[in-house]
Structure 1
Amino acid sequence: MEILVCVKRVPDSAENEIEMNAEGNDIERDDLVFSVNEWDNYAVEEAIQIVDNVGGTVTVVTVGDDESDEVLRREMAMGAAKGILLTDDAFEGSDCKGVATILKGCVDKGSYDLIFTGAQADEGAGAVGGMLAAMLDYPYASLVNKIETGDGKLTVGREIEGGNQEMNEIEMPCVLSIQTGINEPRYVGIRGIRQVSGVEIPEFSAADLGVDAAAVGEAGAKVKKADYFVPESGDGAEMLEGSNDEIIEKLIEMLKANGGLQ
């Protein structure tokens, strides 16, 4: 089983205080602490567990600059066998379609049974996995929280509304967007990172991937960032006090007063 997992280097929201830049069109990125996208971490762990059970290789790939190398090495320390860095000045400013186009170029250069993405990335759009599957003409499932391997097929569970799970059979090769909670990602220690620090990670440019530079990056982006802002804080929540019956009665009156109940 050959599995390609798409990962991304993102600001660590737990370690940073996010502020807008002077132009108001992005967050201030100087001095930010970065880490691997949380959803991608679950995707890598799931890929490793599948390979441990059925054999094969896990490869991690990212679109970014030289600093994204650290994300690849972290996931290799976790258990991925190979890393691939897709880097080119032409990639800067790519929207979701552009990122999917770049990743397709990487998939076309290999031979993969499974391609994983995190369920959420690219500022929460969660669109790259579906776009990549469409470009490859592969079956696709999103919000996957259960995978069972079979003979040329997978049985996958998807998280749907109401806390329910939808089960599907899907043929390989396919693209799956992995939801958090599907597993418990293993701890990565300093020793593991040191062991992969000297491993060569191949880099591919737009030309190497056969990707038209005009179709990606800021020049090819159909979705552009128009404005960033921090929402104004409201007055805060009103805490209701009293017995359960008193709280329920107060809540009903408040809902009626604000048009929530007729």
Structure 2
Amino acid sequence: MKILVPVKRVVDYNVKIRVKPDGSGVELANVKMSMNPFDEISVEEALRLKEAGKAEEVVIVSIGPAKAEETIRTALAMGADRGILIETDETVEPLAVAKLLKGVVEAEAPGLVIVGKQAIDDDSNQTGQMLAALLGWGQATFASKLELGADKATVTREVDGGLQTIDVKLPAIVTTDLRLNEPRYASLPNIMKAKKKPLDKKAPADFGVDVAPRLKVLKTEEPGGRKAGIKVKSVAELVDKLKNEAGVL
């Protein structure tokens, strides 16, 4: 079986986000970028399945600028076999990502696609579900445990009431949650080997997909500062303040 893992280049989760002075978006110049944490978990799970003999090949795909090659090389250093970069400087929205991934899936014919449940930059949580709909495949979202059988995937997923275990017929789409695993670090020898692993470059036009944004950002603002709390002497005073000052009751 071949496993396909999409990865996204995002601002590193340790970096404090700053809004541009003109309010057109967040500042990306001279900011450390890295692989989306949920995608790291997806890569790790695919590698564990390969090491367990459940898959023969792990293919990484990323959509973004030329520098996204670094993100793919990170996954290759972790142990993935090869990568595909769909190069574009546009801000690609989830639907366009799903359409591009559909083209990659049709070309690569994987038995399983493991997707991070969301990216930490836009938090859309849509790509995996949209890809499943476009392909007509089964899907299991928010996976905290994944087991592969001969023709199905058994997924334990986190829901509001606790845990739910479902079976999904392969081929399928699985989106990963934080508690699925802890990603490994790439060793220095593997980082050097990753530079020689195959990486194909393509363009959105190769898949017949228009990636022009459909949404327009009107303004981006920093969240307001948190006000200091106060102590109240009774429940009645608390209710009065919530009703008459905060206006939440």
Q: 1:212 maps to which residue?
A: 209
1:250 offset after TM fit, Å? 5.4
What is the rounded CA distance, in whole Å, between the counterparts of 2:69 and 2:198 in structure 1?
A: 10
Q: Is the Cα contact below 8 Å between 2:19 and 2:25 reproduced in 1?
A: yes
Q: 1:58 maps to which residue?
A: 58
Q: Structure 2 matches for 1:168-179, cutoff 5 A?
A: 168-179=166-177
Q: 1:132 maps to which residue?
A: 131
Q: Point out where structure 2 has 5 or more consecutive residues left out of the alignment.
A: none
Q: Which amino acid aligns with 2:91?
A: G
Q: Deviations over 1:230-260 (max 9, x none)?
A: 011021345x6xxxxxxxx957456433259
Q: 1:139 to 1:230 in 2, by over 3 A?
A: same
What is the rounded CA distance, in whole Å, between the counterparts of 2:6 and 2:127 in structure 1?
A: 10
1:17 offset after TM fit, Å? 2.9
Q: 1:253 to 1:126 in 2, by over 3 A?
A: same
Q: Structure 2 matches for 1:151-166, cutoff 5 A?
A: 151-162=150-161, 164-166=162-164
What is the rounded CA distance, in whole Å, between the counterparts of 1:149 and 1:237 in structure 2?
A: 50
Q: Is the Cα contact below 8 Å between 1:99 and 1:128 reproduced in 2?
A: yes
1:150 offset after TM fit, Å? 1.2
Q: Point out where structure 1 has 5 or more consecutive residues left out of the alignment.
A: 241-248
Q: Structure 2 matches for 1:67-216, cutoff 5 A?
A: 67-89=67-89, 92-121=90-119, 123-162=122-161, 164-209=162-207, 211-213=208-210, 216=211
- Helix, strand or coil at the partner of 1:167: strand
What is the rounded CA distance, in whole Å, between the counterparts of 2:234 and 2:113 in structure 1?
A: 48
**How much is the aligned-residue C-alpha RMSD, in angstroms?**
2.1
- Helix, strand or coil at the partner of 1:235: coil
Q: Is the Cα contact below 8 Å between 2:82 and 2:198 reproduced in 1?
A: no
TM-score by length of 1: 0.86
What is the rounded CA distance, in whole Å, between the counterparts of 1:124 and 1:61 in structure 2?
A: 19
Q: 2:227 maps to which residue?
A: 235
- Helix, strand or coil at the partner of 1:50: helix
User: How many residue pairs were aligned?
Assistant: 243
- Helix, strand or coil at the partner of 2:178: coil
Q: 1:130 to 1:198 in 2, by over 3 A?
A: same
Q: Is the Cα contact below 8 Å between 2:145 and 2:156 reproduced in 1?
A: yes
Q: Percent identity?
A: 31
Q: Which amino acid aligns with 1:173?
A: P
1:6 offset after TM fit, Å? 0.7
Q: Is the Cα contact below 8 Å between 1:96 and 1:128 reproduced in 2?
A: yes
1:224 offset after TM fit, Å? 2.8
1:149 offset after TM fit, Å? 1.3
TM-score by length of 2: 0.90
- Helix, strand or coil at the partner of 1:75: helix
What is the rounded CA distance, in whole Å, between the counterparts of 2:72 and 2:86 in structure 1?
A: 11
1:29 offset after TM fit, Å? 0.8
What is the rounded CA distance, in whole Å, between the counterparts of 1:250 and 1:81 in structure 2?
A: 64
Q: Which amino acid aligns with 2:58?
A: V
Q: Deviations over 1:168-208 (max 9, x none)?
A: 01001111110011112111233321111133310111232
Q: 2:29 maps to which residue?
A: 30
1:133 offset after TM fit, Å? 0.8
Q: 2:6 maps to which residue?
A: 6
What is the rounded CA distance, in whole Å, between the counterparts of 1:261 and 1:97 in structure 2?
A: 36
Q: Which amino acid aligns with 2:139?
A: Y
Q: Could you list the runs of 4 or more consecutive aligned residues of structure 1 that deviate by over 3 angstroms after TM superposition?
A: 249-255, 259-262
1:93 offset after TM fit, Å? 2.5
Q: Which amino acid aligns with 2:4?
A: L
